[in-house]
Amino acid sequence: MSENGSAPGGLALVEALVNTRGLESGKDTLNSAEGRAAFGIEEITERELAAVKELRESLRAVCLAHAGHPPHDVVTPLGRLLSRAPLLVTVDERDGSAGLAAAEEGPLLSRVAAAVAQALTDGTWLRLKACELPECHWAYYDRSPAGRRRWCSMSVCGARAKMRRYRAK
Ligand SMILES: [Zn+2]
């Protein structure tokens, strides 16, 4: 539903993960192996799936916070989840630049943690937000110059919110 393309760099992974669940439709693509394949987690246990969903809702709450909204649900603090994700400091031999990467190949939690760390370096983290409308709360990347975008889509959720305000008058 994103109006202007997905989030930059590794944040696209975070955005895509948050948007595996449609709050209004009740659809959750993590429930199918095909949907999970997009994250390299098609073969996971029930318990691991529950952990991924927990991570997803913690990420959604943080995206909401970036837009100044309270959490949509009771969630585990994202920092607590990410503290279990080991990260490595990587150094480029050629130019000496350094960064953070997932400690092992695979675990989604580590890849998400690495994406968050990278977004901090890039200054993009606070721009990953969630739509204001309670039935939506879709993640989007705010590219507006002032950084005050409130909806995942102006034409859908923005129009809905305006209609509601109009009716309330
Ligand atoms: Zn929306």
Per-residue model confidence as pLDDT tens digits over 34-83: 999 999 999 999 999 999 999 999 999 999 999 999 999 999 999 999 99
**Does pLDDT of 2 surpass 60?**
no
What distance in angstroms lies between residue 98's CA and the mean position of ligand 1's atoms? 36
**Does pLDDT of 3 surpass 60?**
no
**Widest CA span in the chain:** 63
Using pLDDT thresholds of 50, 70 and 90, give the confidence band for residue 1.
very low
What distance in angstroms lies between residue 23's CA and the mean position of ligand 1's atoms? 10
What distance in angstroms lies between residue 60's CA and the mean position of ligand 1's atoms? 13
DSSP3 helix / strand / coil % (the chain, rounded to 5): 45, 10, 45
What distance in angstroms lies between residue 162's CA and the mean position of ligand 1's atoms? 13
What distance in angstroms lies between residue 26's CA and the mean position of ligand 1's atoms? 14
Answer for the pair 8, 124: CB distance below 8 angstroms, yes or no: yes
Give pLDDT, residue 4.
Answer: 60
What distance in angstroms lies between residue 92's CA and the mean position of ligand 1's atoms? 40
> CB 149: neighbour CB atoms within 10 A?
21
**Each residue's pLDDT tens digit, 17-27:** 999 999 999 99
Domain boundaries of the chain, sorted by first residue: 11-78+127-168
Strand segments (E) across the chain: 87-91, 98-102, 128-130, 139-141
What distance in angstroms lies between residue 156's CA and the mean position of ligand 1's atoms? 7
What distance in angstroms lies between residue 105's CA and the mean position of ligand 1's atoms? 33
What distance in angstroms lies between residue 158's CA and the mean position of ligand 1's atoms? 7
Give pLDDT, residue 99.
Answer: 86
What distance in angstroms lies between residue 133's CA and the mean position of ligand 1's atoms? 6
Residue whose tokens read 């948007």: 19
What distance in angstroms lies between residue 153's CA and the mean position of ligand 1's atoms? 6
